[in-house]
Amino acid sequence: MQKIIPHLWFDKEAEEAAEFYVSIFRDAEIKNRVKLRNTPSGSAVLVALELFGQEFNLISADPYFKLNPSVSFLVACDTMGEVDAFWGELTKRGVVRMGLGEYPFSEKYGWVEDRYGVSWQLMFTRRRGVGRKITPTLMFVGGVCGRAEEAVNFYASVFHDAKIGDILRYGKGVEPDREGTVQHVAFTLEGQEFAAMDSARMHGFSFNEAISFVVKCESQGEVDYYWGKLSADPNAEQCGWLKDKYGLSWQVVPTIMDEMLRDKDDEKITRVTEAFLKMKKFDVEALKRAL
């Protein structure tokens, strides 16, 4: 079981986006769909899918949060042709952030926001030193720029199975980026690969709830542990969601929720939904009683 899962928030397009991603990426499938009724958004649709072995959750729950490139997904491509194929699909009605071409770090690379606002970095790697095909990449900008290394060390201290790779730092003469800050670092938390970087340029966006990371917990003790370690903003605590001290959003969720939301009984799902909407940190026993 994947312990940490990216969660993407859409207005109405989660199902459409899921179908689109499954159509263009190999080894992809939609695993589950569930409708949650009587939420603050009315009826919300939650879609679980898998792309190249990487699990994602997508939700349609009205336009409360807007996707932006502070979290992007790096796709490691085996061939230049693969880069071209993904680029051709993802740029349709999308926005190019960095044009497709040769860069010092890759013979072929491009960065695009697709038609739904999700950011993808496509890189020809020949799979050199690359594990998973898709890697979430965190960009520390604005008030948290220059804190990427601190954040990575913090996450590695919170999660029990964590590894930090070599850090590529900015050198002199790369203003506005400050010498010594992080140009790129790869790290792994509970088997989930991540990358992080600082960027001092004026971007006009920052981390928000549009992309969060679900932490699957086997017990109330695990829920309590991760909640206590990660939550830094009491005002952001709701329905298992929290924000850490860098503004990144997480969801600390007991694994029993997966079973509950796969139930074919709509009345049970409605009772569970009503129960968790009243919670900040999830209470496993209270969720069980809702059934």
Q: Using alpha carbons only, how large is the chain's radius of gyration in Å?
A: 19
Tell me if residue 9 falls in helix, strand or coil.
Answer: strand
pLDDT in tens, the chain (291 residues): 799 999 999 999 999 999 999 999 988 999 999 988 888 888 899 999 999 999 999 999 999 999 999 999 999 999 999 999 999 999 999 999 999 999 999 999 999 999 999 999 999 987 655 568 999 999 999 999 999 999 999 999 999 999 999 999 999 999 999 999 999 999 999 999 999 999 999 999 999 999 999 999 999 999 999 999 999 999 999 999 999 999 999 999 999 988 888 777 778 888 988 889 899 999 999 999 887
Q: Is 19 left (phi over 0), alpha (psi -120 to 50) or beta?
A: alpha
Same domain, 51 and 78: no
* H-only helix segments in the chain: 14-24, 80-90, 148-158, 220-230, 256-261, 266-277, 284-290
Q: Give domain status of residue 204, yes or no.
A: no
Return the CATH number at 248: 3.30.720.100
**Do 31 and 91 fall within a single domain?**
no
- 41 and 159 both lie in a single domain: no
CATH of the domain at 105: 3.30.720.110
Q: How far apart are CA 178 and CA 201, in angstroms?
A: 11
Nearest to 143 by CA among 70, 71, 235: 70
| DSSP secondary structure, 192-249, as one string | EEEEEEE--S--S----TTEEEEEEESSHHHHHHHHHHH---GGG-BTTEEE-TTS-E
**Does 130 lie in the same domain as 92?**
yes
Amino acid symbol at 244: D
Same domain, 134 and 187: yes
Does pTM surpass 0.75?
yes
Question: Considering the domain boundaries, does residue 213 fall inside one?
Answer: no
Same domain, yes or no: 94 and 192: yes
In a shared domain, residues 109 and 129: yes
88 and 176 share a domain? yes
Q: Are residues 194 and 75 in the same domain?
A: yes
Are 41 and 105 within one domain? no
Q: Structural domain of residue 106, as residue ranges?
A: 71-198
> How many domains would you assign to the chain?
2
Indicate if 100 and 191 belong to the same structural domain.
yes
Examine the domain organization and report whether 26 and 109 are in the same domain: no
CB 241 within 8 A of CB 212: yes
